Amino acid sequence: MGNTIENIATLVAAEAPAVREDVLSWVTEFAELLQPDAVRWCDGSEEEWQELTAEMVAAGSLIPLNKDIRPNSFLARSTPDDVARVEDRTFICSNEAIDAGPTNNWRDPQEMKATLREKFAGAMRGRTLYVIPFSMGPVGGAISQVGLQLTDSPYAVLNMRIMARVTPEVYTQISNGADWVRTVHSVGAPLAEGEEDVVWPCNPDKYIVHFPETLEVWSYGSGYGGNALLSKKCFALRLASVMGRRDNWLAEHMLLIKLTNTDTGRVFHLAAAFPSACGKTNLAMLRPTIPGWEVETLGDDITWLRPGKDGRLYAINPEAGFFGVAPGTGESTNPTAMSTLWGNTIYTNVALTDEGDVWWEGKTDSVPDHLIDWQGNDWTPDSDRPAAHPNSRFTVPITQTPTLAEEWFAADGVPIDAILFGGRRATNVPLVAKARDWQHGVFIGATISSEKTAAQEGTVGELRRDPFAMLPFCGYNMADYWGHWLNMGEKLGDKAPQLFQVNWFRKDQDGRFLWPGFGENSRVIDWILRAVDADNNGSEKLGEPSPIGVLPADGELNLDGVDVPAEDLASLFDVDAESWLAECDLTEQFFAQFGERLPAQLSAELEALRERLRAA
Ligand code: GTP
Ligand code: SPV
Ligand code: MN
C-alpha cells in the first residue's frame, strides 16, 4: 500500500484515545519511521484478545488447543533461530561505557540509534503497529511504573496482555504527570505488496537495546520472550534497576512469597534471587512438607522493592503473569503450576498431542505414543530429539494460581522479612547460612555462582558468576549496583530484612543430591523464619557462627519425617576452609575487573572472610 508520511500521521491520530501530546508525537514519530499499514491502539480488553487470537488462528500463527481440555488456550511455534533471549545481542547504551560496566555490552547511544533507525526504516510495511499501554504493578501504586510498547507482533500483544496490566488508565497516569518508559519492538520482517506472511516472522539480525539515560528500549528482529515482551527483562529489570538507583529503590530477579505461621498467625514475606533454571518458580509455589506454614505466591521472577513510610522495605511483583519454563513442570514437581495452567494460556514451542492438548518432557511420567513436536513434525518416544524445546514456555495469568496471595493486588506491596541468595552449587555452599550482617549479605549476593557439571562444556567445577542473579539484567555498572545495595542497607538500618544464602543442589562425590529439595525446602524456610522471628522479638538467637555465616545449630533444622542420613547432613553444612580459600582467589579475580568502581566494603568482606577461614 505504501503510506505517505502525511497518511501515517492521520492513521495514528484517527483512532487515538485521549492521550497527552508527547505520547501522540512519540507514536507518530516512530510510525513515520516504521511505516506500518495500520495502527491499532490496544486497550487490553477481552474483545481485543478474541479478535487477535482469531486473526492469528486464521493466519496459522496460533493453533487453538482442544477447548474441553485447555479452554481459550493456544500453541505458537517459533522458528528454530528465535527460541530464547539473545544475551550477545543485548546492549546497554549509556552515554559513558564505564556506566554500563565490564559485564554488559556497551555501544555509543547515538551510533546505536543511527544503526537502528536504518533497521527500523520501513520495518513495519505490510503490518499493523500496535500501541500497548501497560502498568507494572497496580495502576497508581506506590512502587508501580507505567510504559508504552510499540510492536508489530500480535503474539507480543497477546503475551503482554497476560504479563502486564494492559489498560488505557495508563494514559490518565501519564496525563497526571507519571514518568513513562518508551519501548519499541519490531520483528524486522516487512511485507512487500502482496507478499504472504510466514507463521513466525523475525529477522536473523537481532538487537535488544537499552538507553538507560532516556529510559528507552529499542528491540529488533526477535519475537521471543524477553526479547519481545519489553515489560519484562528490558523494562522491569534493566531500565528499572537504573530507575531504582536514581530514586532509591531496587529492581531484582527475585521470586516473592508470603508465609503464614499457622500456630502463631504471624505473617512473613520473603524474596529470593536465584539465577535462571535454579528453581524460582518452584519455590514461588512451594508446598510445605512440614506442618506449621502456609505458603502463598506473589511472584516467580521479578520483584521491585522500595522503603515504605515506616522505614521497612516493601515489595511488589510488577508482573501480572508467569512466563515459565514448561519442561520439568509436572504434577510431581509443581502441582500448583499445573493447576494454574487450566486455561487462558499461550504455549510456545511445546509439543501437541493427538487430542489437541500440550505436552513436554516431565509433564507426565508416561510419554505419549505420538506427538507433533515443537517444530511441527511427527514425534514418537523413539525419536532422538526432545518433543518440546528445552526453553519452551507457558504464558499464564498469575490470578489463576490457586495459591495466589491476596496481597498481589495490594497497591503498596508487602514488607520484606528475609532475602535469599541461591545458586546451583555441587560443593562448598551449605544448605543454608545466615549473613553476619547486611554488608556480608551483599558480599554473598555479589558472589552468587553456579558450577558447571560434567554434562556442560568447560572445566568441571568451574564457576559461572551470576551476581544477585542479575548478570544479564543489570542496566548499569554491576559494581555501582553493589554500591547501591550497600547504601540501601545503611538507609534501612535496623529495619533492613535479614539476608541468607541457600543451596538446594549440593552433591556427594558420586553426584547424588544430598538434599531432597522441592517441598522439603520448607524445612529450610522454617529455620530461616524462626531465626528472623527470634531476632525481631529479642528471644534467644538461632544458629551458630561459622567462617562463612551463621549455620543452623544441632537440632534446629526440623527433620521430622524426612530421611536425611547424619553423614549427608554433615556434608550439607561442611565448610572446607581450603576450597573456600581457593574460591576467594577466584572472587578476587572477578572483583578485579571492576577496578576502582568496586566498593571498598566488598574487598574488605573478602579479606575478612579469608581471615576467618585461615583461623578456622
Ligand atoms: P527462569 O524462569 O528461567 O528464571 O527459571 P527458574 O529459576 O524459575 O527455574 P525453575 O523453577 O523453572 O526450575 C529449574 C530447574 O530446577 C527444574 O529442572 C527443577 O526441577 C529444578 N529444581 C527446582 N527446585 C529444586 C530443588 O529444590 N532441588 C533440585 N534438585 N532441583 C530443583
Ligand atoms: C529468564 O531467562 O530468566 C526468563 C525468560 O525469565 S525471558 O523472559 O525470556 O527472559
Ligand atoms: Mn527469569
- Out of 229, 257, 278, 319, mutate this one to test ligand 1's pocket (max ligand atoms within 8 Å of CB): namely 278
Q: Region 474-489: what's the mean pLDDT?
A: 98
Is the CB of residue 342 below 6 angstroms from any atom belonging to ligand 1? no
User: Is the Cβ–Cβ distance between 16 and 24 less than 8 Å?
Assistant: yes
Asked whether residue 39 carries a pLDDT value surpassing 50, the answer given is: yes
Nearest residue CA, atom 32 of ligand 1?
279
**Does 334 or 453 have the greater pLDDT score?**
334
Instruction: Give the whole-number percent of the chain exceeding pLDDT 90.
Output: 95
User: Which atom number of ligand 2 is nearest to the Cα of residue 276?
Assistant: 3
Whether residue 454 has pLDDT greater than 60? no
pLDDT classification of 452: cutoffs 50, 70, 90: low
CATH 2.170.8.10 fits 322-400, yes or no: yes
At the fourth CATH level, the homologous superfamily of domain 5-62+86-247 is Phosphoenolpyruvate Carboxykinase, domain 1 (3.40.449.10)
What pLDDT shows up at residue 450?
84
Q: Does residue 474 register a pLDDT over 80? A: yes
* C-alpha 98 – ligand 3 centre gap (Å): 26
Is 578 a residue whose pLDDT tops 80?
yes
Every domain range in the chain assigned CATH 3.40.449.10: 5-62+86-247
pLDDT tens, 253-272?
Answer: 999 999 999 999 999 999 99
Per-residue pLDDT for 60 more than 90? yes
Mean pLDDT of the 433-453 span? 92
Q: How much is the pTM?
A: 0.97
Q: Which residues pair with 216 in a beta bridge?
A: 182, 211
Residue from 252, 280, 282, 503 whose mutation best tests the ligand 1 pocket (most atoms within 8 A of CB): 282
Q: Residue 474 catalytic?
A: no
Query: Which tens digit of pLDDT belongs to each residue from 370-416?
Result: 999 999 999 999 999 999 999 999 999 999 999 999 999 999 999 99
Name the one residue in this structure whose C-alpha cell is 539515560: 213
The protein residue whose alpha carbon is closest to atom 3 in ligand 2 is 276
pLDDT above 60 for 349: yes
Q: Which position among 42, 93, 202, 278 bears the catalytic label?
A: 278
The answer, yes or no, to whether residue 559 has pLDDT greater than 90, is yes
pLDDT for residue 451: 72
Q: Considering only CA atoms, which residue is closest to atom 7 of ligand 2?
A: 226
The pLDDT tens digits of the residues spanning 287-342 come to 999 999 999 999 999 999 999 999 999 999 999 999 999 999 999 889 999 999 99
Could you tell me the distance, in angstroms and rounded to a whole number, from the CA of residue 334 to the centre of ligand 1? 10
Question: pLDDT tens digit string along 501-525?
Answer: 999 999 999 999 999 999 999 999 9
Confidence of residue 464 (pLDDT cuts 50, 70, 90): confident
Burial of 101 (0-12, 13-18, 19+ CB in 10 A): buried
- Is residue 328 in contact with ligand 1, taking CB distance under 6 Å? yes
The answer on pLDDT for 278 being more than 50 is: yes
Distances (CA, A) of 338 to 70, 86, 299, 345: 12, 28, 16, 12
One-letter amino acid of 614: R
Q: Which residues lie at CB < 5 A from ion ligand 3?
A: 301
The residues near 225 (Cβ < 8 Å, ≥ 6 apart) are 84, 85, 232, 323, 348, 391, 393
* DSSP secondary structure of 263-296: TT--EEEEEEE--TTSSHHHHHT---SSTTEEEE
| Pocket around ligand 2 at a 6 A CB cut-off | 85, 225-226, 232-233, 276, 301, 323
Distance (Å) of CA 553 to CA 56, 139, 324, 564: 58, 45, 36, 16
Ligand 1 atom closest to Cα of 520?
27
Q: State yes or no: pLDDT of 2 exceeds 60.
A: no
Ligand 1 nearest-atom number relative to CA 274: 7
pLDDT of 152 higher than 90: yes
Tell me how far the alpha carbon of residue 490 lies from the centroid of ligand 3, in angstroms.
28
Ligand 1 touching residue 61 (CB < 6 A): no
Q: Is 505 in the pocket of ligand 1 (CB under 6 A)?
A: yes
**Mean pLDDT across the chain, nearest whole number?**
96
More confident residue, 81 or 453: 81
Residue with the three cell numbers 550482617:
437
Residue whose CA is at the smallest distance from ligand 1 atom 26: 517
Q: How far is the CA of 579 from the centre of ligand 2 (A)?
A: 32
Q: What pLDDT does 460 receive? A: 58
Query: Ligand 3 centre from 426 Cα, in Å?
Result: 21
Q: pLDDT value at position 455?
A: 46
Place of cell 505466591: 297
Quickly name the fold that domain 251-319+407-615 has.
Phosphoenolpyruvate Carboxykinase; domain 3 (3.90.228)
User: Residue 424 Cα, ligand 3 centroid: separation in angstroms?
Assistant: 15
Return the ligand number nearest the Cα of 233: 2
Average pLDDT rounded to a whole number, residues 556-582: 97
pLDDT recorded at residue 459: 67
Name the residue of 85, 237, 450, 471 whose CB sits within 8 Å of the most ligand 2 atoms, as the mutation to test its pocket. Answer: 85
Nearby residues of 391 by Cβ (< 8 Å), 6 or more positions away: 83, 84, 225, 325, 349
CB burial string 480-489: b at 16+ within 10 A, e below:
bbbbbbbebb
pLDDT tens-digit profile of 226-257? Answer: 999 999 999 999 999 999 999 999 999 999 99
Is pLDDT of 51 > 90? yes
